[in-house]
Amino acid sequence: MAVYIVGGKSRIGGSVRIHGAKNAALPILAAAVICGDCVIENCPDLTDVAVALDILQHLGCRVVREGGTVYTHRLEGGDHCIPDALMSAMRSSIVFLGGIIARHGKAEVTLPGGCELGKRPIDIHLAALRRMGVRIREKGSGTLVCSAPRGLQGTELALPFPSVGATENIIIAAVTARGTTRITGAAREPEIRDLIAFLNGCGAQITCGVDGTITIQGVEKLHGVTHRVIPDRIAAGTFLCAAAITGGSVEVQDVNPGHLLSTLAYLNNAGCSVTTRIDSVLLRGPERLNELGIVKTLPYPGFPTDMQAVLMAAAAGAKGTSVFVENIFDGRYRHVSELLKLGADIRVLDRVAVVTGVPELHGGQLRCTDLRGGAAVVLAALSAQGPSVIREIRHIDRGYEDFSGSLRALGADIRREEAEWNGNTDQSAASGDEKKL
């Protein structure tokens, strides 16, 4: 199993181009099931995206990747089931459900089940599809059998929570449904706006009201489009936090600063100097961050839950005490146990984590508990005194293109070891000095 070897404290400096947004590319690929030939540019090369391409091929689309561009071509036929192996490879595969039903009038998928972040129910998805005329029953081993004998019917939907995935599933199901669908209480993430732009480019008729209401007028058929995926705001925020945590200076390029406002506000208040341009952000970190105050995760445009772990890594070595409140997921503090191994002072009670900054973290034997928790552990190790070994880095491969390579290019003392690991750091990542954990 691959590991990261971190030589110890590094000051991150330089510029990095940010890849396309994983959480925009995934619903766009799910929607490609019902579109004509598409050219999807700036499509990130991530393991989650690779799974989505496998699902797309299984569902009857020919898929070709050439560098950062993915070409899709819809074939006749195709399956209406997603095999369990593919469903379980990526929890967000559920976002394919609406498109499969729209294309085939039926679908069979296994329940995605929980993941490292908690239960991850899909009740909002299913309640909305039922209101659109889908019959859904559970068969035996957690398989959902869905059918829309009279096709999908537009309807009024009020979501009890602005679920990103449920909003995406409904939009994809509604674009070729009969009549009009109106979603109130929908999620407003930039990735949803990008899905809407992609679908409108394919001939859909989707509008967004100033109150966030999304209205979809069903159309007969969708054609193809050439679409460029928006930049990944979480990857951008992660690299900016790397500079903040190590007292370095990083410019993230090819980004939309407007998607980063809540993260930049916290980093600015913690003592970072932030300069934004039309498609880049330059951040200089102080010698030591101030406390972050109270950090509450909220639906967009609030502070994103996907940045919580990474910002907590920053709080771990900051002055004073920072308080985190995780309002989106019921189990998103698994990274805390790993940060404690580095000497962090963090106490968790339910959704609240109290972080008392320590002057210095130390290296250790660590593992990634999930995608964003893993990124947090890496950043904390880069600010720690002494070497670290970080395992389970397959989680990071799901959401960051060449994470260690990008950090090394920014001066980080980190390397990726693909071979089986015996646990000794016989040399630092960059200098080759003798170091033992």
Provide the minimum distance between the beta carbon of 20 and ligand EPZ in the complex, in angstroms, as a whole number. 13
How far is it, in rounded angstroms, from Cα 120 to Cα 398?
Answer: 18
Report the residue number whose CB is nearest to ligand EPZ. 165
Instruction: Give, as ranges, the residues between 21 and 80 that touch ligand EPZ (CB under 6 A).
Output: 22-23, 26
Q: Are 27 and 5 in contact, with CB atoms under 8 Å apart?
A: no
- Written as one string, the DSSP assignment of 14-56 is EEEEPPBPHHHHHHHHHHGGGSSSEEEES----HHHHHHHHHH
Number of chain residues interacting with ligand EPZ (CB under 6 A)? 25
For the bound state, the minimum distance from the C-beta of residue 185 to ligand EPZ, rounded and expressed in Å, comes to 12
For ligand EPZ, which stretch binds (CB under 6 A), given 56-64, 120-128, 223-231, 421-429?
120-128
Q: From 76-84, 118-126, 246-254, 273-281, give the range in contact with ligand EPZ by CB under 6 A.
A: 118-126
Site for ligand EPZ contains 257 (CB under 6 A): no
342 with 384: CB under 8 angstroms? yes
- Please state, in angstroms and rounded to a whole number, the distance separating the CA atoms of residues 210 and 230: 21
H/E stretch holding 164 reads helix 164-174
The torsion angles phi and psi of 404, rounded to 5 degrees, stand at -70, -35
Could you say which of 17, 62, 85, 121 contacts ligand EPZ (CB under 6 A)? Answer: 121
Question: Per rule CB under 6 A, is residue 183 in the interface with ligand EPZ?
Answer: no
Q: At closest approach, how far in Å is the CB of 329 from ligand EPZ?
A: 5
CB 170 to ligand EPZ: min, Å: 11
Measured between alpha carbons, how far is 347 from 353 in angstroms, rounded to an integer?
6
Q: Does residue 124 belong to the site contacting ligand EPZ (CB under 6 A)?
A: yes
Contact flag: residue 163 with ligand EPZ (CB under 6 A): yes
Q: Are strands 180-184 and 156-158 parallel, antiparallel or unpaired?
A: parallel
Q: Which of 43, 61, 115, 146 is catalytic?
A: 115
**Residue of 305, 383, 388, 425 interacting with ligand EPZ (CB under 6 A):** 305
368 is catalytic: no
CB 382 within 8 A of CB 12: yes
Helix (H) or strand (E) holding 243: helix 233-246
Q: Is the peptide bond before 27 cis (omega within 30 degrees of 0)?
A: no
DSSP β-ladder status, 106-110 and 273-277: unpaired
Closest approach of ligand EPZ to the CB of residue 114, in Å: 9
Query: Which is nearer to ligand EPZ, 291 or 306 (by Cβ)?
Result: 306
Residue 166 or 318 with smaller CB distance to ligand EPZ: 166
Beta carbon nearer to ligand EPZ, 165 or 257: 165
From the CB of 424, what's the least distance to ligand EPZ, in Å? 32
* Spatial CB neighbours of 123, under 8 Å, sequence gap ≥ 6: none
Distance, CA of 84 to CA of 305 (rounded, Å): 28
Residue in the structure block whose two tokens are 């200098």: 431
Among 371, 377, 390, 429, binds ligand EPZ (CB under 6 A): 371
User: What is the pattern of x (binds ligand EPZ, CB under 6 A) and - over residues 77-116?
Assistant: ---------------x------------------------
Helix/strand/coil for 366? strand
The pair of structure tokens assigned to 238 is 């992660």
Integer CA distances (angstroms), 144 to 83, 84, 97, 139, in order: 12, 11, 10, 6
Which of these ranges, 161-169, 272-280, 338-346, 410-418, lies near ligand EPZ under the rule CB under 6 A?
161-169
Give least dist CB 124 to ligand EPZ, A: 3
Kindly tell me which residue out of 104, 120, 335, 415 binds ligand EPZ, with binding defined by CB under 6 A.
120
What are the residues binding ligand EPZ (CB under 6 A)? Answer: 22-23, 26, 92, 117, 119-125, 161, 163-166, 187, 305-306, 328-329, 371-372, 399
Which residues are tagged catalytic? 115
